Amino acid sequence: MTTTTRTAHGALGWGSFEDLPSGRTLVMGVLNVTPDSFSDGGEHAGHEAAIAHGMRLLAEGADVLDVGGESTRPGSERITPAEEQRRILPVVEALAAAGAVLSVDTLHAATAAAVLDAGAHLVNDVSGLSVTPAMVEVVAERQAPYVLTHARGTPATMDGLADYDDVVDEVLAELETLRDRLVAAGVAPERIVLDPGLGFAKRGAQNWALLRALPRFTATGHRVLVGASRKRFLGALLETDGEARPAAGRDTASAAVSALSAHAGAWAVRVHDVRASADAVAVAHAWLGTEPAVLRPGAARRPRPGEGPDEPPAPRGGRGRALRAGDRAGRQHVPAAPPRVPDRRDRINLLGIGAVGYHGVLDQEKRSGQPFFVDLVMYLDLSRAGAEDDVALTAHYGEVAEEVRDMVIGPSVNLLETLADRIARRLLERFPLEAVEVTVHKPKAPIEVTFSDVSVTIYRER
């Protein structure tokens, strides 16, 4: 076997609400831990699946993850706060430990208090005019950032409450009434985020009217969140032969709304397809000429003079401040770009596989664990797989990812080099690979100097 070693840089998440960049529209990734979501059909209802998906959303550029344990689609059934917490608390705890900034989508004050205790940063409450005194009390007591969403009725009744003389005037007036109630209870105005509540007691044309009026919402002085992703009014816009476009086919339109919302000054967009909306937001800021100094997590900066493509960038902090040593826990992992190879061999790139492992030379690392991320470049002949469309002739991505995850969460080792070597050898044993390059990232390593990530890359041939 031949071996090469290289270091690379990455990051994990912003770490706190205060560290979120202020110079651009943020991207909030939707993480539904529900069996009946309208958008993903319960694909991430299990704890492990939800945590893994949250890691993927961070790697794709999410600034905030919005975790929900109860569907709020029209007509959905209510669940108890206890069941909601059973679904989401392990997910919140794991992602908070990984440095993610977390919003939790809940109607229940008890759940809001529990998730804040578990490490969440924002409460995203879509109860609207039905907000409970208990929720107001929790938000005031904790001074947690609070997304105040406009809605009438409950998910079961909201569709029958969408009658307005002027939807923009009435939504603004009702939001301001609720805002005043929160402020009177002691909630700091700067902690309140307004959400026009697209789809919540709104019919198709009313949603478009609210989007066109976004400057009126930003003029209130509050941050404004736009949640249009995959919603029914987009499906109706894209209908074919009288049939609305299914939710999974609405991501391009959702990204267009994200770009326009950024152009109109929205604080954040709440989306399912993070990568597309992160790109759309970047385009909007470039169009406006307001491209911020702090790029979105995952964006590459231009190298400074004297820096080569494999040289680590200098650490940087949120909002232009100097990066403190303690901040390294709050940066988002950025999968390394696949390395250049001297030939044109077929290869599969599988980047950003995340799991909590217990590796390191310190006893604390072996006791408490920390997040690790693995990037793979797998070399194999894909000519037959491409010609015959047969998964048996290639490396099954899901099985590879599961194998890597199991290696990371498995028996502890002292060195990244050892972990990377074990992963490479195991993949060569199990899958039809000619060679594999494995990069293991350890963004929260206990190093006393400022850094953004440490990683080891090895190359192994059969």
Pairing status of strand 101-105 against strand 64-68: parallel
- φ, ψ of residue 195 in degrees (nearest 5): -125, 120
Alpha-carbon dihedral 84, 85, 91, 97, rounded to 10 degrees: 150
Among the listed residues 282, 294, 295, the one whose alpha carbon sits nearest the alpha carbon of residue 321: 294
Is 270 designated active site? yes
Residues 6+ apart with CB under 8 A from 379: 345, 346, 347, 433, 434, 435, 436, 437
Spatial distance between the Cα atoms of 400 and 404, rounded to a whole number of angstroms? 6
CA distances from 362 to 328, 368, 417 (A): 18, 10, 16
Q: Which of 270, 296, 442, 444 is catalytic?
A: 270
- φ, ψ of residue 194 in degrees (nearest 5): -95, 135
Is 422 designated active site? no
- Neighbour tally for 187: CB within 10 Å: 22
Q: Which of 179, 231, 232, 275 is catalytic?
A: 231
CA distances from 226 to 57, 138, 141, 295 (A): 18, 24, 26, 20
Per the structure block, which two tokens stand in for 402? 């599961």
Question: Which are the catalytic amino acids?
Answer: 231, 270
